[in-house]
């Protein structure tokens, strides 16, 4: 008795298997590449956020220092005490008291700028705090 030819030959099955394995390998490499880039991006974002909050903490410490200077009853004028402590006094402002501006470095591309008003009685008030580029 003669055998009939199989409907599906062995060569086609082997080609489909090789193609499927190749396709799975390509998708796994793409998946690994995408997850690595996502990991790098999330590490950068976490580093940027931690740098920002570290600068925010430093700015708060400077604000506490400014409050202590404003509350002290020294014989020297307030502007002299502020300049001696390294604070910059803003001029030409509409605020009725003294306006102090200070910068805190976040990283090499960003600076946290704070503007604080000191009233006639020595009360300290935050006017604004903003992230800017250095040199602005």
3-class secondary structure for the chain?
A: CCCCCCCCCHHHHHHHHHHHHHHHHHHHHHHHHHHHHHHHHHHHHHHHHHHHHHHHHHHHHHHHHHHHHHHCCCCCCHHHHHHHCCCEEECCCCCCCEEEEEEEECCCCCEEEEEEEECCCCCEEEEEEEEECCCC
Kindly tell me if the per-residue pLDDT of 136 is higher than 80: no
pTM: 0.71
Domain ranges of the chain: 10-132
Between residues 136 and 63, which one has the greater pLDDT? 63
Rounded average pLDDT over 70-91: 84
Kindly tell me if the per-residue pLDDT of 12 is higher than 70: yes
Q: pLDDT for 21-68, tens place per residue?
A: 999 999 999 999 999 999 999 999 999 999 999 999 999 999 999 888
Give the pLDDT score at 33.
94
Rounded average pLDDT over 67-86: 84
- Supply 65's token pair: 């220092």
Give the pLDDT score at 87.
87
């Amino acid at each position: 008795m003669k055998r009939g030819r199989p409907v599906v030959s062995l060569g086609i099955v082997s080609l489909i298997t090789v193609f499927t394995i190749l396709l799975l390998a390509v998708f796994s490499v793409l998946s690994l590449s995408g997850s690595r880039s996502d990991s790098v991006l999330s590490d950068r974002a976490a580093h940027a956020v931690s740098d920002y909050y570290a600068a925010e903490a430093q700015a708060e410490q400077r604000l506490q220092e400014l409050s202590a200077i404003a509350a002290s009853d020294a014989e020297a004028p307030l502007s002299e005490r502020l300049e001696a402590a390294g604070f910059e006094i803003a001029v030409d402002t509409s605020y009725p008291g003294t306006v102090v501006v200070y910068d805190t470095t976040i990283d090499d591309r960003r600076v946290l700028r704070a503007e604080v008003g000191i009233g006639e009685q020595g009360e300290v008030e935050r006017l604004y705090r903003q992230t800017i580029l250095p040199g602005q």
